[in-house]
Structure 1
Amino acid sequence: MSKLSKAKDFKKSRSGTYLSMATTAFGAIGVTKQIKKARAEHDTLRLIDAAVSAAAIATGLAILYRELKRLGDDDVLLG
């Protein structure tokens, strides 16, 4: 099995999904800072942008969680 094939399989594995969830959740830190700054400056447009970004992060985490549940016990790298 080539390294490229292993890398593609990792993305579909349980641990790869956890890693994707962690990096997606890490984006929430930036959104939180953006919300605080927008509120301090009373900038409605930046606040809307931050809310849309937060919704995108929440949707991404929900999709990854669904994928994690779908993987179940048949992990690609374990078998």
Structure 2
Amino acid sequence: MSAMTKAKGFKKSKTGTYLSIGTTAFGAISVLKQAKKARYEHDTLRLVDAVVSAAAIATGVALLFRELKRLGDDDVLLG
């Protein structure tokens, strides 16, 4: 099995999904800082950007949780 095949398989594994959730949540910290700075500077456009970014992060996490649930369902069916 090649390294690329293993890497692609890791992305679809439970561990890979947990890692993706963690990195996405880490990105949320940056968005929160951006929103705080935008509010302090009364920069409406930057605040809107932060809100849209937060919505994208929330959607991404929801998709990852759905994938994690699907992976868990597959494990039960296989066992």
Instruction: Give me the TM-score of the superposition, normalised by structure 1.
Output: 0.90
Partner residue, 2:70: 70
**Counterpart Cα distance in 2 of 1:74 and 1:16:** 16
Instruction: Tell me the matched-pair count.
Output: 75
Question: Percent identity of the aligned residues?
Answer: 77
Larger helix share, 1 or 2: 2
Structure 2 stretches lacking a partner, 5+ long: none
**Does 2:48 align with 1:48?**
yes
CA distance in 2, matches of 1:51, 1:74: 35
Q: How big is the alpha-carbon RMSD for the aligned residues of Structure 1 and Structure 2?
A: 1.1
Unaligned runs of 5+ in 1: none
Q: Distance in 1 between matches of 2:74 and 2:6?
A: 16
Matches of 2:14 and 2:23 in 1, distance apart? 14
**Match of 1:9?**
9
**Deviation for aligned residue 1:55:** 0.2
After TM superposition, give the deviation of residue 29 of structure 1 in Å: 0.8
- Higher RCO, Cα 8 Å, sep 6+: 1
Q: Corresponding residue for 1:23?
A: 23
